[in-house]
Structure 1
Amino acid sequence: MTSPATAPDDTLQKWAPQWSPDRTDPALPPITLITDPHDQPAHTTTALAAHQPALGRIAVHPTPLATAPAYLAHDLIRALGKHLPPVDTDPPWWTGNADESWRIAVAWTQALGISHYIVCRAHRITSRHLEHLMALRERTRIRLTLIASGPAPAALAEILNAVAHRQLDTLEAAHHHLTTAHDTAPPPADRYPWWQSAPFPGPDDEAWYQLPPRPRRPVGQPDESTTSSHGTPTRLPSQDNPPPATALTSADHDVVARRIHTRIAHPVHAAAVAVRALMGYGTDQLPQLIVPTPHRPRADLPADLPEWVRLLQDAARIHTDLQHYTRPDLPAHLFGGDRAFRLSAWERNDVAHATETCRLIAVSTRRSHPSKRKRR
């Protein structure tokens, strides 16, 4: 009997933010280290002024004294203009998971066309954070500038000894480096909603919009109340006190795009909320949505989605690739590769709450039982 074909091991493993000096790519842009031994405020001011997201340049000021492995990834996500879920909600599981947090940072970095990260106070970054940052650099091939406002720790010195780098030790040289364009093309102009942020959290008087009517297919169990990753039953605030909401139209999509960009940090959840805003799918239907494949051309999502939604889909697809949900030896429909969203039960809960964080609310539907026909 012939054994079934199996995919290579490297296609079945999630990408992990792991790095070692012997596996670095020498073709990557060299790291730039700006030394500031006297901790001059001008260095930090210059670095933060160089923050130009529309040009692909992001300045990051790490959270002071934050040592948990996920924290620096969260700082990168916030520097991209996004916020983690509000503190008064049950936090999604990924916020405490370092590998998943770094996968999210990588997905947004690539989808948004980020080409340069500037990290302030690099002398305070832990060795674990530095390794994760190097792994992100290897994956995304970005330019990386580190500003050490104090003696460089041994961990940073060890990394610099293993990779190509250059060192700048004057404010004038640092200013020239941070404000000079680097052979990178700016992102397309039609990505503008991603650099126009919405207030976070949303103000109490912010307008609410109704999602489009729920499609009849695929069939599911309409229920916006699920459980968190801790198994705790949760309900949406609107279920107890529905706010007044108006119908969502295409004229409101720019507003919705800015809210999604600002308030949803997970790319798959952001793409799911965008699809709900366009087509009204329930969270129970999202995991069943099919995308076209060569073997099965049927699709639940139209091909002509707006550009702002396609960008979110790109970020979600990159995140899925980092999870290595792929089997190149099998047709997509045999391993679930034709699914638009892979959402666990608790992630459905996260998507439902993220939808309301953007002030979007599903129209309540009541199941009606058809009356029995009278027999003649």
Structure 2
Amino acid sequence: MVVFDPGDDVLHTRAALAMHHPAAGRATVHPTPSTDSTLALAHNLLDALGKTTPLTGYRANDPTPAWTLAAAWLLAPPVTRLTVLRAHLLSARALHDLLALRARTGVRLYLVCHQPQPSAVLEQALTRTGYDMADADAVLSLDGQNPPHAPRPRQAAADTSEWISLPTLTRLTSYESSPACACSPPTAAQRGLHPPALPLHIATQVAHRLNRTAHPHLAAHLAAAIVMAVSTSQLDTARVLDLALDGTALTLHDRHNVRQGCTTHPVPTWAQPLLRATAFTHLLATGERSSRLFADPLGACGLPSLTDFAEHLRIRPPQPRLR
């Protein structure tokens, strides 16, 4: 959808920004002024989704990982509507990557032009794709929406300076190996396994900290360790195909039965988008369903270990009392 706002009406811009609510399936991107960098646009999108940029671990000028991760984070909640302001200023390469993102994710793309007609670059980019045109008054308004696009409620800023101590992380370190297997595992409940559930306020804080990282495999790995109370060696048995499509369950393997046997663990709501995002990263980058879920298919270098990542987020096992 190409949306025309020739008067660059501030009310239309405010309406577009007010619609931004990724958890409800809507995202709005306001591209960085005076740049035609496709990498900058990918970072703008990741920023809009609440991720920390610039990305670490990849070549500084390579936009491919950023666009792949942006696609994965769009698919995870999922986001179904993406509004991009000032689309008439985007370069041909940026528009190409944006339209490729639309093709990979199926997101409904709204390109807002603050002029009476598309730019020549935009018109050329759209020659191979179907699109509709609309006036900003009809699209960028909080009135008459069905359903209404209510702005997000304001939330108090989360305190990220305090340490969060989680007993489930005491089982994290392990040097055992447990190859994946073809099994029909029982659920954790059937095995009588009930890792301690996080209190709501703690789960909210943990989710807030994990959601800031742009690397889904790191966030998902730590989330799984927290909610499943298992070792890294058992977490490393998880493959993409072991995650339920909706992210509600993950199977871990233990064919030698040295710990608790192959088990399907439930995934709480707050952790589901994180695991879905890392699965989508694999599917977008390689198409492989048998690869290790918590490995990075994009080949990042120099990223922290799981324990270092947890320390960086000030999340740790309970500490011994000082005498």
TM-score by length of 1: 0.62
Are the equivalent residues in 2 in contact too, given 1:198–1:258 (CA < 8 A)?
Answer: no
Aligned AA (1:127): A
**Which residue does the alignment assign to 1:156?**
122
| Residue in 1 that maps onto 2:171 | 214
| 1:317 lines up with 2:270 in the alignment | no
Supply the AA of the counterpart residue of 1:288: D
- Given candidates 286, 304, 313, the residue that maps to 1:349 is 304
Given that residues 58 and 65 in structure 2 are in contact (C-alpha distance below 8 angstroms), is that contact kept between their aligned partners in structure 1?
A: no
**Structure 1 unaligned regions, length at least 5:** 1-31, 187-193, 221-247, 366-376
Aligned with residue 288 of structure 1, among 202, 223, 236: 236
Residues 174 and 345 of structure 1, relative CA distance in 2, 3 Å threshold:
closer
Partner amino acid, structure 2, of 1:272: H
Q: 1:138 maps to which residue?
A: 103
Instruction: Find the counterpart in structure 1 of residue 314 from structure 2.
Output: 359
Change (3 A) 1:134 1:301: farther
Cα distance change, pair 106–341 in 1 and its aligned pair in 2 (3 A):
same
Preserved contact between residue 15 and residue 142 of structure 2 (Cα < 8 Å): no
Partner of 2:3: 34
Asked whether the equivalents of residues 203 and 270 of structure 2 are also in contact (C-alpha less than 8 Å), the reply is no
- Cα shift readout 1:344-368 (whole Å, capped 9, x = no counterpart): 6845516555423422135789xxx
Is 1:307 the counterpart of 2:274? The answer is: no
Alpha-carbon distance, 1:91 to partner: 3.1
Q: 2:25 aligns with which of 39, 56, 60?
A: 56
* CA 1:91–1:314: 2 relative to 1, 3 Å: closer
**Secondary structure at 2:56's aligned position in 1?**
coil
The residue type equivalent to 1:254 in the other structure is T
**Relative to 1, partners in 2 of residues 1:196 and 1:305: Cα closer, same or farther, differing over 3 Å?**
farther
User: Are 2:53 and 2:214, in contact at CA under 8 Å, matched by a contact in 1?
Assistant: yes
Does the 8 A contact of 1:95 with 1:101 survive in 2?
no
> Given residue 341 of structure 1, which amino acid in structure 2 is its aligned partner?
F
Which residue of the partner structure matches residue 13 of structure 2? 44
Alignment-derived partner of residue 267 in structure 1: 216
Do the aligned partners of residues 107 and 181 (structure 1) sit closer, same or farther apart at CA in structure 2, a change above 3 Å counting? farther
Query: Quick one: distance in 2 between partners of 1:215 and 1:357?
Result: 16
What per-residue deviation string (whole Å, max 9, x for no partner) do you get for residues 288-311 of structure 1? 3345879x7747774223232233
Amino acid corresponding to residue 53 of structure 1 in structure 2: P
CA shift in 2, pair 1:84/1:175, >3 Å: closer
Shift of 1:203: 5.1
Contact preservation (8 Å) 2:15, 2:141 = no
Q: Is the CA contact 1:94–1:100 (under 8 Å) kept in the aligned structure 2?
A: no
C-alpha distance in 2, partners of 1:306/1:69? 35
Determine if the alignment matches structure 1 residue 82 to structure 2 residue 82: no
Task: From 120, 135, 143, give the equivalent of 2:85.
Answer: 120
Q: After superposition, where does 1:6-17 map in structure 2 within 5 Å?
A: none
Please give the alpha-carbon distance, in whole angstroms, between the structure 2 residues aligned to 1:36 and 1:215.
Answer: 54
Distance 1:323 1:77, change over 3 A: same
Shift of 1:258: 1.9
1:182-236 CA distances to partner (integer Å, 9 max, x unpaired)? 8xxx9xxxxxxx9997858x654x344356213464438xxxxxxxxxxxxxxxx
- After superposition, give the CA deviation of every residue in 1:112-169 in whole Å (9 maximum; x if it has no partner): 1111001111112111111111011111111111111136332201123332222224
TM-score, normalisation: structure 2: 0.71
Task: Spell out, residue by residue over 1:316-338, the C-alpha distance to the aligned partner (whole angstroms, 9 max, x if none).
Answer: 111111121528xxxx4xxxx3x
Q: Residues 301 and 266 (structure 1 numbering): CA distance in 2 closer, same or farther, change over 3 Å?
A: farther
Task: Provide closer, same or farther for how the CA distance between residues 216 and 164 of structure 1 changes in structure 2, counting only shifts above 3 A.
Answer: closer
Cα distance in 2 between the residues matched to 1:196 and 1:258: 14
Q: Indicate conservation of the 8 Å contact 2:73/2:277, yes or no.
A: yes
| 1:15-30 correspondence to structure 2 within 5 Å | none
Call closer, same or farther: CA 1:195–1:72 in 2, change over 3 Å. Answer: farther
Q: CA contact under 8 A between 1:82 and 1:265: conserved in structure 2?
A: yes
In structure 2, do the counterparts of structure 1 residues 253 and 195 end up closer, same or farther at CA, with 3 Å as the change threshold?
farther
- Contact kept, 8 Å, 2:46 with 2:214, in 1: the verdict is yes
Verify the 8 A CA contact 2:27 2:79 in the aligned structure 1.
yes
SS in 1 for 2:266: coil
Q: Is the 8 A contact 1:119 1:146 kept in 2?
A: yes
Give aligned pairs, total: 278
| Residue number in structure 1 paired with 2:203 | 253
Q: Counterpart amino acid of 2:133? A: Q
Q: 1:52: how far off?
A: 3.1
1:11 aligns with none
SS where residue 213 of structure 1 aligns?
A: helix
Could you tell which deviates more after superposition, 252-261 or 356-365?
Answer: 356-365
In 1, the alpha carbon distance for the partners of 2:59 and 2:155 equals 23
